[in-house]
Amino acid sequence: MRSWIPAGVYEAKPWVFIALGALLTVGMMLWSLSAGLWTVWRSFLCFLGAGLAIAGGATLQLRQDYRAKSKWRRDHTP
Q: Measured between alpha carbons, how far is 61 from 56 in angstroms, rounded to an integer?
A: 9
Q: Measured between alpha carbons, how far is 18 from 38 in angstroms, rounded to an integer?
A: 23
Q: What's residue 78's pLDDT?
A: 61
Q: How far is CA 65 from CA 4, 20, 25, 62, in A?
A: 22, 24, 27, 5
Residue 43 corresponds to which amino acid? S
| pLDDT per residue as tens digits for the range 30-39 | 999 999 999 9
Q: Measured between alpha carbons, how far is 9 from 17 in angstroms, rounded to an integer?
A: 12
- Model-level pTM greater than 0.85? no
Segments of the chain scoring below 50 in pLDDT: none
Segments making up each domain of the chain, as ranges: 9-75
Q: Measured between alpha carbons, how far is 24 from 27 in angstroms, rounded to an integer?
A: 5
Q: What's residue 76's pLDDT?
A: 67
Q: What's residue 73's pLDDT?
A: 67
